[in-house]
Structure 1
Amino acid sequence: MELVITLLTVCLVILISIWMRKKFSFWKMRGIETPPLSFYIKHMRMAFLQENSFADRDLLTYKYFKDRSLQHGGLYFLYHPVYVPMDLKIIKHILQVDHEHFMDRGFYVNEAGDPMSAHLFCLEGAKWKNLRKKLTPTFSSGKMKMVFETLLECTVDLKTVMDKHLDSSVNIKDITARFTTDVIGSCAFGLICSSLDNPNSEFRLKGQDIFHRGFLENIKQVILYSFPDTMRYLNVKMIHEDVSEFFTDVVRHTVEHREKNEVHKKDLMELLIKLKNSGNVDDDKSNLENTITMEEIAAQAFIFFVAGYETSSSTMAFCLYELCNNLDIQHNVREEIIEVLEKSNGKLTYESIAEMKYLEKVISETLRKYPPLSTLFRICTKDFKVPGTDLVLPKGLRLMVPAYGIHHDPEYYPEPSLFDPERFSDENKNTRPDFSYLPFGLGPRMCIGMRFGLLQTKVGLIKLLMNYKFTLNERTKLPLRFDPESLTIATNKDLWLNIRKV
């Protein structure tokens, strides 16, 4: 009996060794360079011990391939091969020119058992394409102008909270997160969240739960990404039950209340309700084949909150941090804001924001240094021959486009650690190659809510900079480090700033 067990064990070890050798020879067989085993061990240690963030590890990977002047490289995520394009021309083909080969992101979706996961960011194939087409008019410039006044109302509480801390210090990371929570609550759900008044409001707490679930939640996300079919078969949910129930109930009650009482507001929820009832966001048109369900409304409202809450608040906080380190830039952007607002008697209008060209540069440079996502994920949906090479990417292969690495590449951005808004002057932008700036992605799958995210970021910064001067407080821990638990780029410590009246 012992001999049989020993023989079975030996056979199992041999089979596993053969299987692993085959799996981990994927790139070698195709002549694509991969980092050595020591590189992977180091990365796994840093990830499991949460020694640094996704962005930090992504930058190390980028530099490994860049130092070797490679067009592209290969990685392994567990046993899955992952393609890393380095050449911007190849990236352009992936994200835009040959988009139909890379339509999907490869994230976990369980539409039947976890409807909240079936939102625009994760959906694939025809379902994504159809929903994107339906939702695109919701984020047109005209619709953004419609929600502008609703957004502007949230700045009243922002100023009230800031005035309480005059000539003192404030954790700006917390303030901007509460501000964007109120904005998304008002514009996406039509609700007054009062997060600025009450830091422990339910919307604020749910937002924190989504982005900061800790080590075990990150392990769960890795498993869902690696074995999606198995996890769907087991009916595993990506969104936690309490979060899913909260947002589903909020959306259902909001929609039912508005329809029953014929309540109409200038917000994104109004547009989603129109899509549900008539299939069109315009009042004078109808396309019943284009309608969406209550579950789809809930899922899209959820991703609006997720995408708009953390990313915009972090961009605002990072921007103010950089302006504290560059007081001359802070002075210049404030002068522009005041000068433009004088033309409209001090009133901030949708049109006046477009005149603030220097503010646009400052925000663009912030997003260059701190893009919301360090990596853009894609799945090869059908075999693709990489232009200019003999490499054929098979269907099902995973890809990682290194946005953070590109943004910190001295070839495209000399002295990348320097905060320099003039990188985004018309002259300098025209000297850089296409696809060297990817804070929202590019191509058909770029962020649909980009206009809204930029709008709320600009409005918040304008209201803060026109009223207050900021300097760095000694309580801010330097050097700044990214949160290893966060999927997006965010600080792992509070950002304390001194404030005083302009």
Structure 2
Amino acid sequence: MGIGLVLLTVLLGLVVFLLFRMYQKMRYWQNLGIPCEKPHLLMGNMVGARTKIPLAEVYQRYYNKFRGMGPFVGFYSFHRPAAFIMEPFLVKLILIKEFNKFTDRGIYNNPEDDPISGRLNLIDGHRWRVMRNKLSSTFTSGKIKFMCPTVVKISQEFIDVFGDMMSKSSIVEVKELLARFTTDVIGTCAFGIECNSLKDPEAEFRVMGRRSLTDTRHGFLGMAFISSYPNLARRLHMKRTPDHIEEFFMRIVKETVTFREENKIRRNDFMDQLIDLKNNQLLKSETGESMSLTIEEVTAQAYVFFNAGFETSSTTMGFALYELAQHKDIQQRVRDEVIKVIAANNGELTYEALKEMVYLNQVISETLRLYTVLPMLNRQCLEDYVVPGYPKYVIKKGMPIIIPAAAMHRDEKLYPDPDRFNPDHFEPERVKNRDSVEWLPFGDGPRNCIGLRFGEMQTRIGLAMLVKNFKFSVCDQTPIPMKYSKSSILVNSASGIFLHVERV
């Protein structure tokens, strides 16, 4: 037998073996008798995701199909069997009561080769615990109150720019304007940098912020490989961050840190906290040794604050205006409340005043329910876990967990008439009587969104200022019903949100 034939035989045998292992893997839930949808050999249950249909719709369809069929159902995230959670009681166990068994998110990161991926929302284990503990002090109510006047000042410039835009045309595309506002807010509060996105839509920070959400290093199949085989991807030194995104944020952070250190500047903001962690051994390793952040780790944390902060808040405000434009009675009620509260606070929009705007906050909460920007929460099981009362339902160690938050928010068992915009869902008494895990735009438990207070603050200020100064209504260009972006992981409109605007 020639060597060529031997090699061909070995290669064919290897291919057959790999296909057999793949087939076995894609029979995992069926063999256990756990309800699931028959998976595609390559795509699992992710067929069409981010190409033909939005990711949120994949999870919504799956949730609707399997409701009432168990505490969780089987799901194939490409080639990885995952537990798709169906019941709030199990969500609460995972996020809160049994948190120590589900601390990790299990999302691919590779800080050694891809420094930006070493950010708080991706890292796991001990590193996450110490980082979260140290960074949490940046987002206390006292620190947020300190930043509030800065955000109000930027919002006043925002209203001027918005008014100039409206004077040129009564039809305004609000989505991009809102993103420019939140970019300037985050740039100032996180980096201490005047981004000037409001005045210049092509300002570097705005352009790179936009590209950080749209530019990817790998195509869909590349990301499918990374998600399915994360350990192998790390061995292959695969990165997820595009080089130009990494280079921009590394440069900005290095310049900011150097300038502050050389000029002994302190702003009592997020960047100062990161600089302290870089210069002082305030973190503890798993062995108990003191350690500091590297400049790469500083950049990773600054990146997530910037990236998550500007997009989620601007998207939420855009959807809120979209609904208020269709519900003028709700819009007027919000406006009346904002005007009344500001007048009672000597004509100023203060941190305390924001807390008094109860109905505005109901509108924001309802917007986040109906348009949950991050449609799912990811966790990974740290040990074999038997669901209490369901001995057949076992989440194995290392298994990915998907909590379909957006789909739960549209479940009529939790929210009557769930597809209708109804701020009454968040009347104080109803919120008091509702389990916290039934509303998850920021997650819940020890690993909820660290920037929750900041995001709420800038969203409230932006909406309060807009509704106080302008009236919004639909026009021929308003997308009704809303069409969502298919390519984004986040829930976002497919195109701009065009509304008719006039001054109050």
What is the TM-score normalised by the length of structure 1? 0.93
Q: Cα gap change, 1:39/1:62 in structure 2, threshold over 3 Å: closer, same or farther?
A: farther
CA contact (8 A) 1:134 1:290 kept: no
CA contact (8 A) 1:65 1:72 kept: no
Counterpart of 2:102 in structure 1 is 102
Counterpart of 1:155 in structure 2 is 155
Match of 1:255 among 251, 257, 276: 257
Which secondary structure does the structure 2 equivalent of 1:312 belong to? helix
CA contact (8 A) 1:214 1:485 kept: no
Once the 2 structures are TM-superposed, how far is the Cα of residue 118 of structure 1 from its aligned partner? 0.5
Q: Percent identity?
A: 38
**Structure 2: any 5+ residue segments left out of the alignment?**
284-288
User: Larger deviation: 344-353 or 423-432?
Assistant: 423-432
Question: Per-residue displacement from partner, 1:98-130 (whole Å, max 9, x unpaired)?
Answer: 111111111121121221111100001000011
User: Larger deviation: 162-171 or 329-338?
Assistant: 162-171
Counterpart of 2:422 in structure 1 is 420
Counterpart of 1:399 in structure 2 is 401
CA contact (8 A) 2:45 2:78 kept: no
Once the 2 structures are TM-superposed, how far is the Cα of residue 43 of structure 1 from its aligned partner? 5.7
What amino acid sits opposite 1:59 in the alignment?
Q
Q: How many residues align?
A: 494
Q: Cα gap change, 1:15/1:220 in structure 2, threshold over 3 Å: closer, same or farther?
A: closer
Once the 2 structures are TM-superposed, how far is the Cα of residue 235 of structure 1 from its aligned partner? 1.8
CA contact (8 A) 2:46 2:76 kept: no
In structure 2, distance between residues paired with 1:137 and 1:454: 17
Once the 2 structures are TM-superposed, how far is the Cα of residue 265 of structure 1 from its aligned partner? 2.2
Q: Cα gap change, 1:117/1:10 in structure 2, threshold over 3 Å: closer, same or farther?
A: closer
CA contact (8 A) 2:103 2:447 kept: yes
In structure 2, distance between residues paired with 1:439 and 1:132: 19
What amino acid sits opposite 1:97 in the alignment?
K
Which secondary structure does the structure 1 equivalent of 2:458 belong to? helix
Counterpart of 1:242 in structure 2 is 244
Which secondary structure does the structure 2 equivalent of 1:444 belong to? helix
In structure 2, distance between residues paired with 1:398 and 1:60: 19
Once the 2 structures are TM-superposed, how far is the Cα of residue 158 of structure 1 from its aligned partner? 0.6
Once the 2 structures are TM-superposed, how far is the Cα of residue 10 of structure 1 from its aligned partner? 7.0
Which secondary structure does the structure 2 equivalent of 1:123 belong to? coil
Q: State whether structure 2 residue 339 is matched by structure 1 residue 338.
A: yes
Which secondary structure does the structure 1 equivalent of 2:438 belong to? coil
Counterpart of 2:482 in structure 1 is 480
Which secondary structure does the structure 1 equivalent of 2:166 belong to? coil
CA contact (8 A) 1:213 1:485 kept: no
What amino acid sits opposite 1:81 in the alignment?
P
Superposed counterparts of 1:148-187, under 5 Å: 148-166=148-166, 168-187=170-189
Counterpart of 2:314 in structure 1 is 313
Q: Cα gap change, 1:291/1:71 in structure 2, threshold over 3 Å: closer, same or farther?
A: same
In structure 2, distance between residues paired with 1:477 and 1:42: 32
Counterpart of 2:145 in structure 1 is 145
Superposed counterparts of 1:267-416, under 5 Å: 267-278=269-280, 289=290, 291-390=292-391, 391-416=393-418
Counterpart of 1:284 in structure 2 is none
Q: Cα gap change, 1:220/1:451 in structure 2, threshold over 3 Å: closer, same or farther?
A: farther
In structure 2, distance between residues paired with 1:468 and 1:270: 37
CA contact (8 A) 1:146 1:267 kept: no
Which secondary structure does the structure 1 equivalent of 2:293 belong to? coil
User: Larger deviation: 299-308 or 219-228?
Assistant: 219-228
CA contact (8 A) 2:324 2:330 kept: yes
Q: Cα gap change, 1:360/1:17 in structure 2, threshold over 3 Å: closer, same or farther?
A: same
In structure 1, distance between residues paired with 2:217 and 2:244: 19
What amino acid sits opposite 2:222 in the alignment?
K
What amino acid sits opposite 1:452 in the alignment?
F
Once the 2 structures are TM-superposed, how far is the Cα of residue 387 of structure 1 from its aligned partner? 1.4
Once the 2 structures are TM-superposed, how far is the Cα of residue 293 of structure 1 from its aligned partner? 3.3
In structure 1, distance between residues paired with 2:356 and 2:279: 37
CA contact (8 A) 2:179 2:310 kept: yes
Counterpart of 1:285 in structure 2 is none
Once the 2 structures are TM-superposed, how far is the Cα of residue 28 of structure 1 from its aligned partner? 2.5
Q: State whether structure 2 residue 444 is matched by structure 1 residue 442.
A: yes
Q: Cα gap change, 1:279/1:121 in structure 2, threshold over 3 Å: closer, same or farther?
A: same
CA contact (8 A) 2:381 2:396 kept: yes
Q: State whether structure 2 residue 207 is matched by structure 1 residue 205.
A: yes
Which secondary structure does the structure 2 equivalent of 1:256 belong to? helix
CA contact (8 A) 1:325 1:472 kept: yes
CA contact (8 A) 2:373 2:491 kept: yes
In structure 2, distance between residues paired with 1:485 and 1:289: 42
What amino acid sits opposite 1:62 in the alignment?
Y
CA contact (8 A) 2:179 2:314 kept: yes
Q: Cα gap change, 1:280/1:321 in structure 2, threshold over 3 Å: closer, same or farther?
A: farther
In structure 2, distance between residues paired with 1:118 and 1:452: 22
- Kindly report the root-mean-square deviation, in angstroms, between the aligned alpha carbons of the 2 structures: 2.4
In structure 1, distance between residues paired with 2:463 and 2:124: 35
**Structure 1: any 5+ residue segments left out of the alignment?**
282-287
CA contact (8 A) 2:121 2:304 kept: yes
In structure 2, distance between residues paired with 1:126 and 1:344: 45
What amino acid sits opposite 2:310 in the alignment?
Y
User: Larger deviation: 251-260 or 227-236?
Assistant: 227-236
Counterpart of 1:92 in structure 2 is 92
Q: Cα gap change, 1:13/1:262 in structure 2, threshold over 3 Å: closer, same or farther?
A: closer
Counterpart of 2:234 in structure 1 is 232
What is the TM-score normalised by the length of structure 2? 0.92
Question: Per-residue displacement from partner, 1:421-463 (whole Å, max 9, x unpaired)?
Answer: 0101122224434411100111111110111111111111111
